[in-house]
Structure 1
Amino acid sequence: MTGETPARARDGAARPAFPVGPDAGVPTFPVRRVVGPAAGGDVRGEARRAIEAVLMAATDPVPARDLAELVECGVDLVAALCRELADEYVAEGRGFVLAEVAGGYRYQTHPDLAPYVEQFVLEGQHVRLSAPALETLAIVAYKQPITRGQVSAIRGVNVESTLQTLVQKGYVHEIGRDPGPGLASLYGTTPHFLERLGLASLADLPALGDFVPGPEVVEALERGLRADQDPRLKAPADDAPPAPPAPGAPEPGDPAGV
């Protein structure tokens, strides 16, 4: 027999049967289709089971079009099957839900079980975003696209290192250039940011108005600021000198009526 076998190179050394390495691309494996007549004719039911299995194994949200290609059906059917699964989990009172997040579907814990999950996660959590990083991330999330200089102006400090940390962690990335002088980089949040927050899109971010204090709080703060700026508005201190005695009143220490 001439030629070489797929698993052996010309020098006789064994090699993988499929390409590997950074330049080899994605290996192609033979796939045995289970969705179709071979599955007993219940194409819809088998597609549902296949979607459930894939989402259970996935670590990132899986877009509907990818699921549709996998089970060889339409995107609309995939969306309908995912809704069926989601409703079924809710009706059964499961501890997890099937959510649409960052343009795809994934399983995540039920919101009302957050205290248990939070305790479990935080007990082993050693690296968390600092307060400056959270503030910077919030500014980018609500004001994007935004330049580094604009973020620094809002926070009042240099955010270069903080912004770089957010980029390295995958929460923020460069999304363009400002057309103004200098062509500064414009930053925005990533799909990973949406995934970690459990949001389907930026439209699901809480409204900023939810965090604005009420009128009574603002009024109290303004009174406090005015008092700090005008000493005459401050309340008298405890060690203030006593008021002078009324005319005809006995002096302190003198017997009354003497």
Structure 2
Amino acid sequence: MNLVQAKRVLETALLTAGQPLSLRDLRVLYDDELGADTLRLMLQDIELEWAHKGLELTHVASGWRFQSRPELRSYLDRLHPEKPPKYTRAVLETLAIIAYRQPVTRGDMEDIRGVTIGAQIIKQLEDRGWVEVIGHRETVGRPSLFATTRQFLDDLGLASLDQLPLLSQVDPQMSALAGMLEEAPLQASLSLDEVLDDPPAKSETLSILPDAALLTAPNRDETPNT
């Protein structure tokens, strides 16, 4: 197989994949006959060839994928005019704290937010695949330490946490994440018809990306910490 054909195979695999492909995944296409450096060069070539098209080749946490360009999002949304699901402020605040202060315990999050965080909020973020327990703090009760996942970065179109906006306050962090989720690019292999049409929660809400599963409203019985 010459490099022209190899690049054609690579481009087709990326366009049809349902998820980002790592270099290890891509080497399987060629029975490991092509090295990582050669693959990176071909990826750079493909990225340049698509520089002026509606899709872009992007490196995210889990690998490489094609996705729509952010400036075209408003047009693509017309294919699916239903209102997207929304996350409550409490969920977004909790996600922002984990993203910017990780690893953190539930107690840390409650100290920052100033209210008790219901277990359902954490479960919602875990079910979405955005946060996970990575260990336990060596203190009384050994509370769980939470951090974000690769899926979280993939859904925001990021390769690493270093690409999150540098903000110092919880409210700006929460607003920044809400905006990033709202403007997250669609993967080329995904259909707009895959969006869930569950009704959003009736509490205070902020928009999220259209292909995300709807999270139910958090426990309304949040009480201030004493």
Is the structural similarity TM-score above 0.5?
yes
Report the Cα distance in structure 2 between the residues aligned to 1:119 and 1:130, rounded to whole angstroms. Answer: 24
Report the Cα distance in structure 2 between the residues aligned to 1:209 and 1:95, rounded to whole angstroms. Answer: 34
Structure 2 residue 59 is matched with structure 1 residue 105: no
Residue 158 of structure 1 and its aligned partner are, at CA, apart by 1.8
Residue 168 of structure 1 and its aligned partner are, at CA, apart by 1.0
Aligned position for 1:87? 48
What are the superposed Cα offsets for residues 106-147 of structure 1, whole Å, 9 maximum, x if unpaired? 0011122233245555x3355322221111101100000000
Question: What is the TM-score when the length of structure 2 is the normalising length?
Answer: 0.69
Aligned residue runs from structure 1 range 13-24, under 5 A: none
Aligned residue runs from structure 1 range 156-175, under 5 A: 156-159=114-117, 160-175=119-134
Structure 2 residue 90 is matched with structure 1 residue 132: yes
Give the partner amino acid of 1:150.
D
Report the Cα distance in structure 2 between the residues aligned to 1:124 and 1:51, rounded to whole angstroms. Answer: 35
Aligned residues: percent identity?
Answer: 37
Larger Rg: 1
Structure 2 residue 141 is matched with structure 1 residue 182: yes
Aligned position for 1:219? none
Question: What is the TM-score when the length of structure 1 is the normalising length?
Answer: 0.61
Structure 2 residue 101 is matched with structure 1 residue 143: yes
- Cα distance change, pair 173–182 in 1 and its aligned pair in 2 (3 A): same
Unaligned segments of structure 1, at least 5 residues: 1-35, 37-41, 213-258
What are the superposed Cα offsets for residues 57-78 of structure 1, whole Å, 9 maximum, x if unpaired? 1111100121023223101111
Residue 156 of structure 1 and its aligned partner are, at CA, apart by 1.4
Residue 103 of structure 1 and its aligned partner are, at CA, apart by 3.4
Report the Cα distance in structure 1 between the residues aligned to 2:168 and 2:45, rounded to whole angstroms. Answer: 35
Aligned position for 2:111? 153
Paired residues, number: 168
Report the Cα distance in structure 2 between the residues aligned to 1:199 and 1:62, rounded to whole angstroms. Answer: 14
CA RMSD after TM alignment: 1.9
Unaligned segments of structure 2, at least 5 residues: 174-226
Secondary structure class of the residue paired with 1:73: coil
Which structure 1 residue ranges, 4+ long, deviate > 3 Å from structure 2? 117-121, 209-212
Greater relative contact order (Cα < 8 A, sep 6+) = 2
Secondary structure class of the residue paired with 1:61: coil
Report the Cα distance in structure 2 between the residues aligned to 1:192 and 1:64, rounded to whole angstroms. Answer: 17
Secondary structure class of the residue paired with 2:58: strand
Aligned position for 1:243? none
